[in-house]
């Protein structure tokens, strides 16, 4: 039986599940990250491959800077 989402792969568990292994992973990511998964798909993947790489780099850089800032603030408070 085929996966309900991609309709290309066989279901991981034909009796109890609806999705293939990859789509099940997507479902898990949706449960963990929620709205963020949709935003990443729309804002990162809906572009040419070159634009995707650039956007991904920019977004990751922002995220790393935010985490570094949070870490620095945390360290400063402990001093």
Interacting span for Zn ion (CB under 5 A) from 14-22, 32-40, 50-58, 61-69: 14-22
**Contact letters (x/-) for Zn ion, 21-40, by CB under 5 A?**
--x-----------------
Please report whether residue 11 would count as binding Zn ion according to CB under 5 A.
Answer: no
Please report whether residue 9 would count as binding Zn ion according to CB under 5 A.
Answer: yes
Q: Which of 1, 6, 60, 70 binds Zn ion (CB under 5 A)?
A: 6
Q: For 27-54, give one letter per residue: b (16+ CB within 10 A) or e.
A: eeeeeeeeeeeeeeeeebeeeeeeeeee
- If DSSP codes are grouped into helix, strand and coil, which group holds residue 61? helix
């Amino acid at each position: 039986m085929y996966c309900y989402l991609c309709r290309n792969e066989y279901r991981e568990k034909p009796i109890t599940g609806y999705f293939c292994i990859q789509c099940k992973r997507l479902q898990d990511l949706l449960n963990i990250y929620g709205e963020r998964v949709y935003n990443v798909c729309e804002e990162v993947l809906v572009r040419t491959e070159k634009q995707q790489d650039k956007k991904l780099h920019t977004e990751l850089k922002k995220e790393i800077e935010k985490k570094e800032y949070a870490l620095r603030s945390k360290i400063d408070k402990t001093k």
